[in-house]
Every structure is written in structure tokens, then in C-alpha cells.
A = this chain, B = another copy of it.
Amino acid sequence: MPEVRLNVVTGDWVIIATERAKRPEDFSHKKEKKEVPQYVETCPFCPGNENQTPDETFRINDGHGNWMVRSVPNKFSALSPGGEIIKSKIDFKQYISGVGLHEVIIETPEHNKTTALLPPSHIEKVLFAYKDRQLAFYNDERVEHVIIFKNHGAGAGTSLEHPHSQIVGTPVFPGQVMMRLGEAIRNYYYVNFGECLYCAYLHGEIKDRERIVCENDSFVAFVPYAALSPFHLWIFPKTHNACFALVNEKEISDLAFILKDVLLRLYIGLENPDFNYAVRSLSPRGADSKYFHWYIAIVPRVTQAAGFELGTGMFINTAMPEKSAEFLRNIDTQS
């Protein structure tokens, strides 16, 4: 019998279609193995081509004059960095000028060093870039919301192979995030007696243990009870905090370890799958800090949303979350 599970954090029902369930290893892409070179002459993100990107906004050097991580405005920005906010409403046509910020964070000079293969000490630098840019974006008063995300592989919507993340600051607060915040506030007061919904949920997942993939002092990585798709993963900070950019140095270090660990498990277990991740966070300005809890959502693109998802917003997950978690937990990342 399939189960329809509720995600208490998002309010979404998910069909866990156990009758159609596949074994975890069936989701492996088994792509043709392609040797990716360390350097590509025509890649705008490879060293030597720095003049092909707009002017750098952030960089971390290695101490020998070479950059390790850099951030640059996106050449094909979705939003315009210059200009003023103009709001207009004529009948039903309501819009705001597309003013906003959009940068690309180039994670490493090496073209073939996907995040799963970078040492944690290097991933820390990437996370410092996330933090710096998120704070800088929120300092722009035209920016209402900032999202940090990564698209890995053609199936996840990127055409650029060189490891990179993106950060976008929008002049509007997304409706979906607003809805999540509303749920979180309601739960804070009416369900959890003054406890953050995410904290309460995390305590439940930690108590259950069976969906946890790995854990360290500051973070827990798990397949949520109502995961939307096979190997859908959440990384939650154990300390309540609504804004990613407020993490301290110890947390950055712990996050680098757990992010690498999780991505390496996917890399080995599913043979370098295409994936997206997003850092869900509110602003450091702090008004909503009691209710919301920042986290990272990782979605390997091993199945496809179709008409059912389009028409209902619900998902059909063809893998048991407990089995997905067990599979990832048992990957040997040391050999």
C-alpha cells in the first residue's frame, strides 16, 4: 500500500509510491564516463580568462597570488543591477521593475573539481563567499530576498561545466517563501507553544534516526520523512538561526564537511548525478528570526516532474525515504 505523507514544514502532501518503488541503485544515471580536463582554454571560468567575466566582486587567494574562489556578476543576469525600483499596477497587471543582483561564484580554478571532490578546507572558502555575497546583497535596499543555489549537470539546468554556484537578490519576496513563513509563524504560536517549527521537526528526525544520512556537531543531513523525490536531502543547522549569513566560523567549517560528505555519497552512490541545491534563508535584518530556520535542500535529478505535479503541486516519490537514506548512509566515502 502506498503512503501519502505530509511534510509538516512545507505543508505539501507527497505520494510515496511504494508499489512502483525501485531499488536505490536503479536511480544511478550510469552516464557514459567522460574524462573532464582540469583546464579548458575556452571556459570563461578557467584561470587566464578572468577578463571574459564582468569585474570581480569578491575573491579569496591562496597566499601565492592565485585565486581559489571568486564571485563575478552574471554576464546573463536575470535582473538588472542598475536602476530604481518602479512599481506599477494597471488593472490586474502588477509589476515591479526587474532590478536586482545576480552573481556567479566560481568555486575553484580547476575545471574538473566538482564540489564532491574538493577538500573541505576549500569548500569552506566557497561558503565564505556565499556568506559575504549574501550579506552584501542584503545591504542593497532594493533587495527583498536572496537565494543561493547550484545547478550541477545539464539535467539540472546548467550548460557550464566549470564548478560554480549562483546568487540572486530579487526586488520581491517570493510568494512560496511567504507561505512557508506564514506556516512557520502559525506553528510557532498555535502548534509548538513557542518553538520553531523547523527545530521541532529536526528533533523528531534526530529521535527517529532512520532517515539520517550523516551528522556532525553543527549539522544533520537527512532524507525528509515526506521527501519529494528519491534522495531529496535536507541539511539543517542544529542551532536555530533564520539567516545563513549569520553562521559562525565553526559552523562554516562543519558545513563544509557535511556538504562534501553528502555530495560525495551522491557522487559515488549515483555515479555523479545531475543535481540542484538551494540555501533557503531569510534576511539578517532579523524581524522573522524566531520563526524561520535556514537550511540547504538538495535535489538529485533522477526523476522528472510531469503533469501530475504541474496540476496539483504534489509529488510522487518512487523511492522510500528510509531506503534512500540507508543507501546513502552505507556508502563508503573513505576508499
Contacts and interface: CB of A to CB of B under 8 A. Distances in A.
B307 A276 contact: yes
Interface stretch (A124-132, A171-179, A254-262, A323-331): A171-179
A277 interface: yes
Interface string A18-54: 1110000000000000000000000000000000000
A19 to B, nearest CB: 7
A305 to B, nearest CB: 7
A167 B150 CA distance: 34
A17 B98 contact: yes
Chain A facing B: main interface SS: mixed
Interface stretch (A78-86, A115-123, A215-223, A235-243): A78-86
Interface stretch (A61-69, A88-96, A105-113, A284-292): A88-96
Nearest to A225: B93
A316 interface: yes
Interface in A153-177: 156-158, 166, 168, 170-172, 174-177
A279 B166 CA distance: 35
Contact of A79 (B2, B176, B200): B2
Contact of A278 (B2, B76, B91, B310): B310
A94 B312 contact: no
B5 A95 contact: yes
Contact of A94 (B8, B93, B305): B8
Instruction: Please list the 8 inter-chain residue pairs (A to B) with the smallest Cβ-Cβ separation, ordered nearest first.
Output: A176-B313, A2-B98, A278-B311, A149-B307, A157-B306, A276-B307, A174-B312, A92-B204
Please tell me how many copies of the chain the complex holds: 2
A145 B15 CA distance: 13
Name the residue in A276, A278, A310 with the highest tally of chain B Cβ atoms < 10 Å from its Cβ. A310
A99 B19 CA distance: 12
Name the residue in A11, A12, A94, A306 with the highest tally of chain B Cβ atoms < 10 Å from its Cβ. A306
Given A5-B95, A13-B172, A92-B200, 16 more contacts: A2-B78, A5-B93, A11-B175, A13-B174, A17-B79, A149-B306, A149-B307, A156-B306, A157-B305, A168-B308, A174-B314, A176-B312, A176-B314, A276-B307, A297-B311, A299-B310
